[in-house]
Structure 1
Amino acid sequence: MSQFISIDVEDYYESASFQRIKKFAEDKPTPFVIIDTSIISKQYDQMVHNFPYADVYYAVKANPAEEILTLLRDRGSNFDIASIYELDMVMKIGVTADRISYGNTIKKRKDVRAFFEQGVRMYASDSEADLRMIAEEAPGSKVYVRILTEGTHTADWPLSRKFGCQNEMACDLLILAKELGLVPYGISFHVGSQQRDIGAWDSAIAKVKGIFERLRDEHDIQLQMINLGGGFPANYIDKTNELTTYAEEIKHFLHEDFGDDLPRIILEPGRSLISNAGILVSEVVLISKKSYNALERWVFTDVGKFSGLIETMDEAIKFPIYTEKNGELDKCVIAGPTCDSADIMYEHYSYGLPTDLEIGDRMYWLTAGAYTTTYSAVCFNGFPPLAAYYL
């Protein structure tokens, strides 16, 4: 029987989707990623079903392929945009400006001007300089302020303090927004990507409630929107709750703090919509040991941190890996092909690969639909960007 890094992937391997992808991959030179768009459709439908009261804004940075953007456009999704380049991508396929939010708090003046000229009227901010620039280049627009949240350390891919501001500053910025002729529209936060602790949303929503009440009671500002961000998990090795459980708990948190009359709720899923749809296929380049007495093998494959697997940095995201060999699983180090010593995916985590694995065998990295093609280097060591196919 074929061996797995995680027993949880066995059912997926037996699925029609995996078999379809595997057959398609047979004659393709590695490395590459294959995305099954039918899974993205199902994931989107599940998101909408579980959060019927929310508007979905797909985080384009997760994977901006035209095949994915077109599919989500037709399913009714909105789009969270991080740059002028992403704006061009979505507008090229006919997405209208009312379905776009400029969610990056770090942006150039000329880009804000371009967004406004294209009709975009919703912008994120977390600083006075940025807010004043929005007021000058996108007058009268809706702004929402991103706040800092605790608990991101419980996420597999935590977020730093690069984005967001403290509650006190958030209040002051929304007051200033009104003075500058902007619409103080709401609050956003992000609890960290691949977040396992559902309670992270509870504490963040409680913070938002305090800001809503203070602005309403002390400054006659009625905020209209809460952006819950992303953070919903995909199916990597470590177990997570089902999306239904997240949805039930988050709905409870919202009604606990805001009653039955909820403000507009926005979600910004990326990973949770598309990761499960992708399989990255690589080839074993070399298997070696560092000494005659070494207990572990080094398995070098033709994909690495610089060709799509940057999220293995600090061994944060643990991809399930499948091979067709049947040997006993034995702990090994898994590394990429480049001449950079940082190009090691897993050294400390106890990954096991079959003892009969050989040079030339293929490795199938599951749950690889998000943040692989977008993180792939253009030409490090001359290697081309990660190839991608969409079924």
Structure 2
Amino acid sequence: MAKAAEPASFQGFKRKDGRTGTRNYIAICSTVNCSATVSRYVADEINRSGMLDDYPNVDGVVAFAHGTGCGMAGEGDGFDNLERVIWGHATHANVGAALFIGLGCEIFQMSRMAEKYDISDPERFHRMTIQGTGGTRKTIEGAVERIKELLPTVNAISRTECPAAELKVALQCGGSDGLSGVTANPALGHAVDLLVAQSGTGILAETPEIYGAEHLLARRAASQDVGEKLIERIQWWEAYTSRNGGEMNNNPTPGNKAGGLTTILEKSLGASAKGGTTPLAGVYKYAERVNTPGFVFMDSPGYDPASVTGQIASGANLVCFTTGRGSAFGSKPAPTIKLATNSRTYENMTEDMDINCGDIASGEATVEEKGQEIFSKFIKVASGEKTKSEALGLGDNEFVPWQIGAVM
């Protein structure tokens, strides 16, 4: 466990509700697939117009478009997931204002969410439907004008000094290899220990990818209730995969196997190392708001886009992603920092990788030294430094809410 260090800070955006952002976006939240294209057209028109040059404190306009919102049950796990995801992104600390765009007749009704969550702030939340506005073209034009009106207000906020305790980092791995559990994952775990020592938060997820190692996390639970919540999630997944004709012990992908991982147990032991060594302070549902500082776990699939979508909705304002085979992942509104587990991948994909952890394997760095480097990168990126994925413009198509249940 890392020792408490001198208080660290970053330059962030302090919101009225007390939370702190690392970016400042305007979000267009599509409530249903029927409004997905309209939402993307609106964001593209604003981002490509050049008008954002006059608003330096605005990082961009991002469309959270998806493939669901109708043809689904109006209650249950699937509906609750989508509701938490949409609400979590609209109210995210990295979002200065949100415009909800729907078709009008879908299952996922904005009025229902507005009543449940008291969406009443006229500066931050705005709504329109394609049916109510008069069609596709009129909705695009109206939404563009609405965002133009929002830009001065969203731009008015400036970065100020904020404690590292305000950082909530989503912990992810994808394209793992045999070195993941030796280099990048334990180094990220040490960075998480440093963050927790600052009263910050690390959010581990990907429930199928801790399978077989869940007892190691449960053993660290801060209370019996926390440990039981984790085991209950594992049992839910066993039943979920079984009724869908799958099995929990068949997780490694062809790429994982080519990289040296042969079983889910090997993969899980490495994946769980991302969580460091501090007590497990809480266990959360998918996309549930994380309000407990420290190391926590959020239930999610192992599929990276769906998992990160949930972590960001839960409040993560940074994402840290380890990879051995290589990844072209990016995310918005929270930026992704990518760690290569080996030097070959880092050198092969230098435009995608932020930090090389392969020098641990070569003996040029220790896990602790690399963990300190990763923690320092947290501070720099939180203060506005662009990640490699941001420089490439990634993150617009990685918004993937986890769908559960029948499509009707």
TM-score (norm 2): 0.25
Could you say which structure has the larger radius of gyration?
1
> Which structure has greater strand proportion?
1
TM-score (norm 1): 0.26
